[in-house]
C-alpha cells in the first residue's frame, strides 16, 4: 500500500526546509525573510510615532534618542516609516507572485505539452514582451488605470508571469520527451490529466525556485514604480517612495535614503539566498554538494 499523498508531500516539504536551514545561505535567507514578515505584521504596534505625524521643529533632524534614524523633510520619523515601509510591498507582491506563477506556469506547461503552431505563435508573443524594457508596459497600464493596489496586483501578476511561461515550457519539454508521457498518451489520458498527473509533479521544484526569484524581481519592480511616483500614494510609507522623496536631501540627511535602501536590500538578499538554498536542497543546482 502506498502512503497518502498529503503526508508524503508534508514530509518532503519539512525535509527540504531542514536541508535549506542547514546551509548558511538558507539559514541567513530564511532569517531575513522571517524577520521582515514579522516586522510587517507587528510594525503598527511597535512603531514609535504616527507615520503621518509632521514636526516642523525637527525637519531633516539627525539620528538620536528621540528619532533613531532622524527625520525627513516634513519632520516625520524615518525609523517609523522604514518599519512600516514594507507592508504594502509584501502585501501586493505576496498576492501577485503566486498568481503570476499559477497562470504563467500552467500556460507554459500546456504549451510544452501541446507544441505545434499554437506554441510557436504564443512564444513569439512572449519574446516580443520580453524584448521590451520591463518597466515601460507597467507604466502604460498604471497610467491608464491608476496606481491603487487593485491595479498594481493584477498588473504585476500579468507582466511578471510572462517570463514564467518560458521557464515552465522549457521544464515541461524535458518531461514530455520521457517514455511515461508516451505511455499516458497511449492509455488515452486527456492533456489536462497528463499535465496534472505526470508533468506538474516533475516541474514543481523548478517552478518553486523560479517563484522565489520572481518574488525578488517583483519587489524591485514595485519599489521602482513607487520611486517613479506610480506606486503607493503619499503619505503611505513605502521604501521606494521614501528614497524618491529623500534623495534631494541626501547630503543633509542621508538616513532618509539609507534606511529604506538597507531595508529593501536585506529583503531582496534574503529572498535570493533562500532561492539559492532551495535550488540546492531540491537538487536543481550542479553545485548541490557544496555548502555555501
Give the residue, 82 or 183, on which the prediction is more confident: 82
> What backbone torsions phi and psi does residue 71 show, to the nearest 5 degrees?
-130, 160
Please report the pLDDT score of residue 8 as a whole number.
65
Kindly report the CA angle at 26 between 156 and 81, in degrees rounded to 5? 50
> Which structural domain range is residue 267 located in?
23-41+70-86+237-292
| Domains: count for the chain | 2
pLDDT interval class at 292 (50, 70, 90)? very low
Same domain, 102 and 32: no
Residue 196 covered by a domain: yes
- Euclidean distance between CA atoms 149 and 88, whole angstroms: 8
- Whether residue 271 sits in one domain with residue 155: no
Q: Which of 239, 204, 235 is nearest to 224 (CA)?
A: 239
| 91 in Cβ contact with 43 (< 8 Å) | no
Task: Tell whether 79 is covered by a domain.
Answer: yes
Report the 10 Å Cβ neighbour count for 120.
10
pLDDT at 95: 95
User: Is pLDDT above 70 for 116?
Assistant: yes
**How confident is the model over 164-176, as a mean pLDDT?**
88
Cβ-based burial of 108 (10 A; exposed 0-12, middle 13-18, buried ≥19): buried
Asked if 182 and 269 sit in the same domain, the reply is no
**Mean pLDDT of all residues in the chain?**
85
User: Are residues 249 and 133 part of one domain?
Assistant: no
* Domain-terminating residue out of 230, 248, 271: 230
55 part of a folded domain: no
- Phi then psi for residue 77, to 5 deg, are -70, 120
**100 and 76 share a domain?**
no
So what's the pLDDT on residue 55? 84
In percent, the amount of the chain with pLDDT more than 90 equals: 38
Residues 118 and 204 in one domain: yes
- Determine the pLDDT at residue 286: 45
Cα-to-chain-centroid distance, residue 209: 11
pLDDT at 269: 95
What cell does 157 get? Answer: 501578476
Q: Are residues 220 and 264 in the same domain?
A: no
Do 260 and 169 lie in a common domain? no
Task: Write down the pLDDT at residue 290.
Answer: 34
The reply to whether 215 falls in a domain is yes
- The Cα 57–Cα 87 span in angstroms is 28
pLDDT one-digit tens code per residue, 52-89: 888 888 888 888 878 888 888 888 999 999 999 999 99
Same domain, 223 and 97: yes
Whole-Å CA distances, 3 to 6, 27, 69, 193:
9, 30, 54, 21
Least confident segment among 27-31, 136-140, 219-223: 136-140
Of the residues 199, 230, 261, which one is the last residue of a structural domain?
230
pLDDT of residue 231: 81
Q: Choose one of 193, 211, 230: the last residue of a domain.
A: 230
Return the pLDDT at 17: 84
Is 148 found in the same domain as 95? yes
62 vs 272, residue with greater confidence: 272
Residue found by looking up cell 532622524 in the block: 70
Nearest to 78 by CA among 92, 90, 91, 66: 66
CA distance 74 to 60: 8
Domain CATH for 130: 1.10.3720.10
Specify if 57 maps to a domain: no
User: How high is the pLDDT of residue 4?
Assistant: 53
Same domain, 82 and 96: no
Which residue in 188, 194, 210, 209 sits closest to 112, CA to CA?
A: 194
Q: Residue holding cell 517609523?
A: 80
Q: Is position 10 within any domain?
A: no
Residue 14 falls inside a structural domain: no
The cell for 228 is 517613479
Residue from 34, 80, 17, 47 nearest 267 by CA: 34
What pLDDT score was predicted for residue 161?
92
109 within a domain of the structure (yes/no)? yes
Task: Examine the domain organization and report whether 106 and 193 are in the same domain.
Answer: yes
Amino acid at each position: 500500500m502506498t502512503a497518502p499523498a498529503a503526508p508524503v508531500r508534508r514530509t518532503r516539504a519539512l525535509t527540504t526546509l531542514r536541508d535549506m536551514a542547514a546551509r548558511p545561505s538558507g539559514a541567513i535567507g530564511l532569517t531575513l525573510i522571517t524577520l521582515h514578515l514579522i516586522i510587517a505584521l507587528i510594525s503598527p504596534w511597535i512603531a514609535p510615532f504616527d507615520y503621518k505625524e509632521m514636526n516642523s521643529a525637527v525637519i531633516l533632524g539627525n539620528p538620536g534618542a528621540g528619532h533613531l534614524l532622524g527625520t525627513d523633510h516634513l519632520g516625520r520619523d524615518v525609523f517609523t516609516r522604514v518599519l512600516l515601509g514594507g507592508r504594502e510591498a509584501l502585501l501586493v507582491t505576496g498576492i501577485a507572485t503566486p498568481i503570476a506563477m499559477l497562470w504563467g506556469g500552467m500556460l507554459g506547461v500546456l504549451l510544452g505539452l501541446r507544441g505545434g503552431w499554437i506554441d510557436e505563435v504564443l512564444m513569439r508573443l512572449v519574446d516580443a514582451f520580453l524584448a521590451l524594457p520591463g518597466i515601460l508596459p507597467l507604466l502604460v497600464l498604471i497610467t491608464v488605470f491608476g496606481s491603487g493596489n487593485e491595479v498594481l496586483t493584477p498588473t504585476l501578476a500579468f507582466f511578471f508571469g510572462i517570463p514564467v511561461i518560458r521557464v515552465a515550457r522549457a521544464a515541461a519539454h524535458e518531461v514530455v520527451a520521457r517514455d511515461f508521457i508516451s505511455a499516458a498518451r497511449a492509455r488515452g489520458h486527456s492533456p489536462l490529466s497528463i499535465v496534472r498527473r505526470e508533468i506538474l509533479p516533475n516541474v514543481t521544484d523548478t517552478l518553486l525556485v523560479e517563484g522565489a526569484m520572481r518574488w525578488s524581481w517583483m519587489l524591485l519592480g514595485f519599489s521602482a514604480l513607487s520611486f517613479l511616483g506610480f506606486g503607493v500614494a503619499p503619505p503611505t510609507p513605502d521604501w521606494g517612495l521614501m528614497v524618491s522623496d529623500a534623495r534631494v536631501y541626501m547630503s543633509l540627511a542621508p538616513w532618509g535614503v539609507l534606511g529604506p535602501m538597507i531595508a529593501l536590500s536585506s529583503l531582496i538578499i534574503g529572498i535570493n539566498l533562500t532561492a539559492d538554498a532551495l535550488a540546492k536542497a531540491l537538487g536543481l543546482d550542479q553545485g548541490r554538494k557544496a555548502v555555501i
